[in-house]
A = this chain, B = another copy of it.
Amino acid sequence: MSLTPEQQAEIDAQRAGGAQTLRAVSPGMEAHLYKAHEVLDHGFVRVVDYMGDDAAICQAARVSYGKGTKSVQNDEGLIRYLMRHWHSTPFEMCEVKFHVKLPIFVARQWIRHRTANVNEYSARYSILDREFYIPAPEHLAAQSVINNQGRGAVLEGEEAVRVLDLLKADANRAYDHYEAMISQDGQQGLARELARMNLPANIYTQWYWKIDLHNLFHFLRLRADHHAQYEIRVYAEAICKIVADWVPFAYAAFEDYRMGGATLSVRALDCVRRMLAGEEVTEETSGMSKGEWREFLAVIGAKR
C-alpha cells in the first residue's frame, strides 16, 4: 500500500470538492484527478492538475478567438495532420501536473528529460520513509546475454531467494543506521543532508512533475517503449492510460504515428522499394550492418 489513511483522506477531500470554471474541461481527466494509480510495490502516479483538451490543441493551431468553426477539417483530422507533419507547438498548449512516488534509481532516469518542471521532496530538509522497492519474483531478471543494456531470463531457485534476501536486508540495515545517525536522542545527531548518503537507490522519493503534452509524448515514446527498463516503463504505461482519457484524439494519433510507428533510413526505404519491386534482398545486398538488418526485419514483418 502506497498511501497512509491520512493521505487517502486528503485525496478524498479533494475529490469531494468541485467548483465552476469557464476553462476547457476534460471529463475523462476529471475522473482521474487526485486519484493515486499504484505502480510497483509502494509507488504511484496521480494527476494533480491539467490545462487544455483536444479542442484546445486545435484552437491554438488556428489561433482562434472562440471554440472555432467545426468546418471541413474537423478536430480529429486536424490533430492527426499536426502529429503526422511534426507540428509540435499546438501540442505544447496542453499541460499536466503529476504527483509521483518512485524509487530513486527510477527518478534518476526520469529527470534526464529536462523539459519539465520538478519539485522533489527534500531529504536535506525532511526525513525519508522506510519504503524500498523490492522486485516481485517475476521481475527479478538476469543480465541479458545479447544486450549489454538490458535484462534476460528471470532468476530462478536459490539465486532468486538469495538476491531478494540481500536486497531486503541491506535496505533495512541502511535505514536502521540512517535513523540511528540522525537520532538526537543522547547525541548531536548527524545532519540530514549527510545521513541520506547512506540510503540505497531503491528507497522511494516523490515529486511534483509538470510537463506539456508534446514533451510528455516524447517521454512516453522513450519510456513506454519495450526497450525501457521495466521499473520506469510501468510508470509510463500508467501515464499512457491517463492521457488516453484526457485527450483521446491526440493520444490515438500519438499511438499511430509515434508509439507504434517506425522510422526507416534511406537504406531501409531503398530495401522496401526493391522488395516491393520483387527483388530478393539479403543482409549482404541491403547495405546495412548486422544490427540494422535485424531491426529492419522486425519492422517490416516479424514485429506485430
A residues with CB within 8 A of B: 3, 6-7, 9-11, 13-15, 17-25, 30, 33-34, 48-52, 56, 59-61, 63-67, 77, 80-81, 84, 86, 89-90, 92-93, 95, 97, 99, 103-105, 107-108, 111-112, 114-115, 117-122, 124-125, 133, 135, 140-144, 148-153, 155-156, 159, 163, 166-167, 170-171, 173-174, 177, 180-182, 184, 187-194, 196-202, 206-208, 210, 212, 222, 229, 255-257, 260-269, 272-273, 275-276, 289, 291-292, 295, 299-301
Q: Is the CB of A23 within 8 A of B49?
A: yes
Q: Is the CB of A34 within 8 A of B22?
A: yes
Please give me the 8 A-B residue pairs with the lowest Cβ-Cβ distance, nearest first: A10-B66, A151-B191, A260-B266, A197-B202, A92-B117, A142-B188, A114-B114, A51-B51
Q: Is the CB of B21 within 8 A of A89?
A: no
Copies of this chain present in the complex amount to 4
Query: Given contacts A191-B150, A260-B265, is CB(A61)–CB(B198) below 8 Å?
Result: no
- Expressed in whole angstroms, the Cα–Cα distance for A208 and B208 within the complex equals 26
- Expressed in whole angstroms, the Cα–Cα distance for A36 and B107 within the complex equals 29
Q: Is the CB of B198 within 8 A of A200?
A: yes
- Expressed in whole angstroms, the Cα–Cα distance for A23 and B59 within the complex equals 22
Query: Given contacts A188-B155, A198-B170, A299-B269, is CB(A51)–CB(B257) below 8 Å?
Result: no
Contacts of A61 in B (CB 8 A): 119
Contacts of A267 in B (CB 8 A): 256
Query: Given contacts A49-B23, A66-B14, A275-B276, is CB(A197)–CB(B143) below 8 Å?
Result: no
Contacts of A59 in B (CB 8 A): 48, 208
| Shortest distance from the beta carbon of A154 to any chain B beta carbon, whole Å | 9
- Expressed in whole angstroms, the Cα–Cα distance for A58 and B125 within the complex equals 16
